Copies of this chain bind each other. A is one copy, B any other.
Amino acid sequence: MSSNIGNALNISVFGQSHGKAIGVTIDGLPAGEHIDVNELQAFLDRRRPGTSELTTARNETDCPDFLAGVTEDEDGNLTTCGFPLAAVIKNKDQHSSDYSELLTKPRPSHADYTAFLKYGEARDMRGGGHFSGRLTAPLCVAGGICLQMLERRGILIGAHLERVGEVQDEPFPLYPDKALFEDIRSRNPATIDPSASLKMIDEITNAKFDNDSVGGIVECAVTGFPAGVGGPLFDGIESELAKALFGIPAVKGVEFGNGFTCAELRGSQNNDAFIAEDGTVKTETNRSGGIQGGISNGMPLLFRVAVKPTPSIAKTQKTVDLETMEETELSIHGRHDPCIAVRAVPVVEAVAAIALTDLLLSENKL
């Protein structure tokens, strides 16, 4: 199967970019969970296209219609009833013509060719089909609901765009807080340092001007996450989060705490010394990203996600015509984000929320 995640939760994403609708089903949500639809919509708007120069012009409101799993009060707010939840987002504003050429001329580093290999003639790759970044909308519906459930338990998830091309944002402090997360969200791109956000806009617009795109890194922190969750070997938090995060289109790397940097370090430089603070055990540093032996240690969870540059660029590229098997050239028009990492920030929060809610429900710690 291709679009399913979860153990205690069973989340199934469906839809093609240019099909009738996209959506998600969530089985396993506890009954009686309140869903603030305005807060959810505000979250969805953070990943919505057409909001700025930096993103594709494709403009969709992405307003989910809840078909099942909830009851509605007079204010239109929703409460889960314990049955499987289903939410649907209708597709509109599609320019399928933009993609006609791509069936025979696969875009470099895009799923066009591998989809042809796997699904053959029957595939529906208009607009990227089921591989489209558009599928992150239903992921954000599921993740937005999980974020509200987690926040009610004092667990906050916040991400920032830590790097774009040459531009580097500040790292998270040892203990990020709600105020910082909200401050970050007030900016687009979402950075800790306001000047980094401005520099990133330059970096991205320059790439766009050059008919090119640019990659980025999203750093994410989770505060208030209970200690003692996870386990050794394949059900460690790293395994669960990584499986989920690599499900986000364009993600090519995931690291926790010091991550790849630890290869250059000595144990004495990479270990987190234990200290006693207000009656509990904490670590002086958080190079482990809050996880030791696959289990949370009570410190904030900290991880970084590498997002590749949008493969769809206007610049002329080499490809192969699948009918003639002749090498040929391709210049992609259509509307594409010059830096998908910008909109990946809320998606990383959403997917982390899904994976961690699932983990907490599995261990009955929610």
Contact = CB atoms under 8 A, between A and B. Distances in A.
A90 to B, nearest CB: 9
Interface string A98-131: 0000000010111101110111111110000111
A242 interface: yes
Given A68-B14, A243-B242, A274 B113 contact: yes
B252 A122 contact: no
Contact of A307 (B25, B32, B254, B263): B263
Contacts of A254: 242, 253-255
Given A110-B293, A246-B238, A313-B271, A88 B88 contact: yes
Interface in A265-302: 265-276, 279, 281, 283-284, 287-289, 291-298
A320 B275 contact: yes
Nearest to A351: B234
Contacts of A234: 2-5, 243-244, 247
Contacts of A289: 252
Copy tally for this chain in the complex stands at 4
Given A86-B23, A164-B263, A231 B274 contact: no
A135 interface: yes
A342 to B, nearest CB: 12
Interface string A222-260: 000001111111111011101110110101111111111
Interface residues of A, number: 151
Contacts of A327: 274-276
Contact of A274 (B249, B255, B319): B319
B318 A120 contact: no
A295 B84 CA distance: 16
Given A14-B69, A236-B246, A269-B309, 11 more contacts: A16-B81, A20-B67, A32-B120, A80-B122, A106-B281, A135-B232, A165-B263, A253-B260, A267-B309, A267-B312, A267-B313
A120 B310 CA distance: 47
B121 A32 contact: yes
Nearest to A316: B268
B81 A31 contact: no
